Homo-oligomer: A and B are copies of this chain.
Amino acid sequence: MDEMLKKLKYLFAPKSVAIVGGSPVPNKIGNVLMKNLIDGKFMGKIYAVNPKYTEVLGVPCFPRVTELPKAVDCVIIATPAETVPGILEDCGQKGVKGAIVLSGGFEEVGRNDLAQMMKDISKKYKLPVIGPNCLGIFNPYTRLDSIFLPMYKLQRPGPGGIAFITQSGAVGSTVVDLAAHYGMGVSKFISYGNGTVLTECDLLEFLENDKETSIVILYLEGVKDGRRLLEWMKKVNRKKPIVALKAGKFGKAMAAARSHTGNIAGNYMAYKAAFRQAKVTEADDLVELFDFVKIFDQPMPSGNRVGVITNGGGMGVLTADAINDQGMEIADFSNESKEAIKKILPSYGSVGNPLDLVADSGVESYKKAIDVMMNDQNIDSLAIVVLTQTLPIDERIIGVLSEANDLRKKPILTISVGGDYTEAYRRAFESKGVPSFNSPLSAIKALKRLTDYAAWRNKNSD
């Protein structure tokens, strides 16, 4: 790892940060940024840089980066593109450790000259720069937050294992918002925009040994060095599963991607081949991306035989359809399991996979059925339909699922479909680390990806 990349850690966990353009004027980006750091309880010292003020929102303000009382670890820049090279030069001279440039107006509008200046300054001072044309960094561990969207509009997730590298700020932020909504934990969110200085490859290299990161999401439009990307995907994916979404695949979508971050989207087939070669899990869509990430925190299954539990027959049938559709296997229970299951079911129930506990069954039946399947060597993973709308289901189901999940023995997932009441349960499941899906097909699609990844990693482990 080169010297510039080593300094990247300061951008994620800076002891001090300065907002260039920090402002007391409501709804200005420089104001939202300051508020987000203050209200978000950023763990380091905050400064503003703005010649108009000596104090902003109770924080000391200085006219220029060079006039800060000392070199800060991180400078966040949200001023017009033309001013950025000068500010970066100031950062270099002052000995700042790294910069995040949120401002747009560079390659994506043809101002490659400004981009080149940025590169030159970065090289001269070995200054790591994220951006431009991005949302920058959010780190729930240190609460550094350069996402210039208000917290009431976009929730921030708590700390966890998911790192998110994204070229598009908008796409990235929506996924962050969703993660927060479901109580999922994030290690680092990095919206890197045009990737003028630091690219997805640098970020992958950095995350390879990042202790807080266990899963990596990659949203790409166009990259500069496909060969290097393949190399780093291979390296990282072996240790930490990567889930990738490539946008700007063909024709006009490709053109749109180019005008978005100034990067040529390139031949999608080449990306697809690279994903396959590195065994990176590819998502076709934002919802899939999010679905796949949910499940990659589960233990690795040893095969593709799924046990299904349901309290609604139709949902069991749909789950079985999904298992067929995805080329997975509906497990055959062992004889011991069959005997044990008979005791759980009411007299009119029938032993089968999907196991229909019927609508009359309560949390205790789930507990027993899960226990049986966890101990059945013929079952590699559990898909558990919970229709929360039936009378006997109450919040004890959260504890039962969470305990089964904490065993980390086999992957489990839940499927619950419905309105407000069900949604509250789904969030509770997710917050306990139990992946929850709103349809059988999306659940089994995700499980299939985990199973394929597990099989590959098992074969290719060092």
Residues of A within 8 A of B (CB): 27, 32, 104-105, 109, 149-150, 152-155, 166-175, 177-178, 180-181, 219, 221, 247-253, 255-257, 259-261, 284-288, 311-318, 320-325, 330, 348, 350, 352-354, 356, 359, 387-391, 417-423, 438-442
Contact = CB atoms under 8 A, between A and B. Distances in A.
A422 B177 contact: yes
- With most chain B CB atoms within 10 A of its CB, the pick from A252, A330, A388, A391 is A252
Nearest to A253: B320
A174 B285 contact: no
Given A259-B350, A287-B438, A348-B109, A324 B249 contact: yes
Number of copies of this kind of chain in the complex: 2
A178 B249 contact: no
B420 A181 contact: yes
A32 B155 CA distance: 38
A247 to B, nearest CB: 4
B439 A286 contact: yes
A154 B313 contact: no
A174 B417 contact: yes
Closest 8 CB pairs of A and B: A168-B314, A170-B312, A253-B320, A181-B419, A260-B313, A174-B417, A171-B314, A285-B441
A83 to B, nearest CB: 15
A209 to B, nearest CB: 28
Contacts of A330: 251-253
A154 B390 CA distance: 9
Contacts of A316: 256, 260
18 contacts: A27-B391, A150-B391, A153-B390, A153-B421, A168-B315, A170-B359, A171-B312, A171-B318, A174-B417, A177-B389, A181-B418, A181-B420, A221-B317, A247-B317, A250-B321, A253-B324, A256-B313, A256-B352
Nearest to A330: B252
